[in-house]
Amino acid sequence: MLLLIKYVKCVLKNVIVGWASCILFSINVLFICPYLIAHSSMTSHTNLKTIIIDDFHPILLETLKANGLTFHYLPDISESEAIQALPHYDVAVVRSKVQFTAPLIDQLPQLKCIARGGAGMDNINEAYARLKNIVLLNAPEGNRDAVAEHAVGLMLALSNQIVKSNNEVKHMQWQREANRGFEIGNKTIGIIGFGNTGQALAQKLQGFGSQIISYDKYAPSQVSNVSAVSLAELQSKADIISLHVPLTSETKWMVDAHFLNQCQAGFTLINTSRGMVVKQSDVLTVLQSGHMQGFASDVLENENFDAYTPNEKSAFEILASLSQVVLTPHVAGWTQESYFKIGEVIAVKLLEFTTNLKKY
């Protein structure tokens, strides 16, 4: 009997130990192993070598550091030094310092991602980069409000003769009748390109009571109070046309003499997109003909004055001398707020890329 009791105790002890082992094993499988896998994945994504070759708001650096991403921040590196360094990195965070041409991309077999702090991607050969399986990130959400507000400012500067009258008053000239303006509230405003910035502009114009129409070949307007129309209809109806398209082979010099002459007489053109979307020499001709009332641009075909040929310089000086022309130095998206927001947006997108690297 005693032997039987001892035997039963032994069996029960082994069963209990076995159950405990099974439970412990199950806990390992359910909780500890996934943690180790996740931790391993997190460690691997932080091992991506990242270089930042342009100036960014500290929010970008702080966010990356807080999430365990290591990087080299070299905002003062020269273009040639950056090109020499890039082959050693997996991720490049840039603005406009380097042109990512096909030949350069061929020299960067390690590169997995280019993140550009801005809306446009015109310094990157997008098609070739994607062909090489390089993920492209940008931040149109970061400066859309800044650019939209600047576009409104340019409209008001022209409609109210603000720049012209400011210069006259500073020279003690008081010419009220010569500076009688027009209101944009009863005008039809046509927005070409209805992405982040085009939509932001439409939203800001709502309070003026303007009629807003838009044309976008790839993303027709689905915003209330904005009518999507054909390009021809926009040209025939718009009193003011505002450009918000990226610079591509399709949009380069899209706005030429033919385009301008198809627009209704007395229209005003605003350009806060890219300089080479508009053919400046044709703008000058159409302005001088009287068909076009005004031109305001934050961008130029050639923004390097030191590289101007004598003919370019002469043409620019004539354009700039016209009272119905307002020019600013590519600062539409260059506000304190956009500086912060661009860094913030790029940080979030980089974290998403590194965390979900496998899906790319």
Is 50-138+338-359 in CATH node 3.40.47.10? Answer: no
Phi and psi torsions of 113, nearest 5°:
-155, 140
Q: Give domain limits for the chain.
A: 50-138+338-359, 144-327
pLDDT tens-place string over residues 219-278: 877 788 899 999 999 999 999 999 999 999 999 999 999 999 999 999 999 999 999 999
Q: How many CB atoms lie within 10 A of CB 281?
A: 17
Q: Which CATH superfamily is domain 144-327 in?
A: NAD(P)-binding Rossmann-like Domain (3.40.50.720)
Phi and psi torsions of 115, nearest 5°:
-110, 115
pLDDT tens-place string over residues 45-65: 457 999 999 999 999 999 999
pLDDT tens-place string over residues 159-182: 999 999 999 999 999 999 999 999
Distance CA 306, CA 82 (A): 23
pLDDT exceeds cutoff 70 at 42 = no
Give the residue numbers marked as catalytic.
Answer: 274, 303, 330
The residue-averaged pLDDT of 112-127 equals: 95
Distance CA 51, CA 330 (A): 26
* 50-138+338-359 against 144-327: fold identical: yes
Q: Strand, helix or coil at 45?
A: helix
pLDDT exceeds cutoff 90 at 326 = yes
pTM of the predicted protein model: 0.84
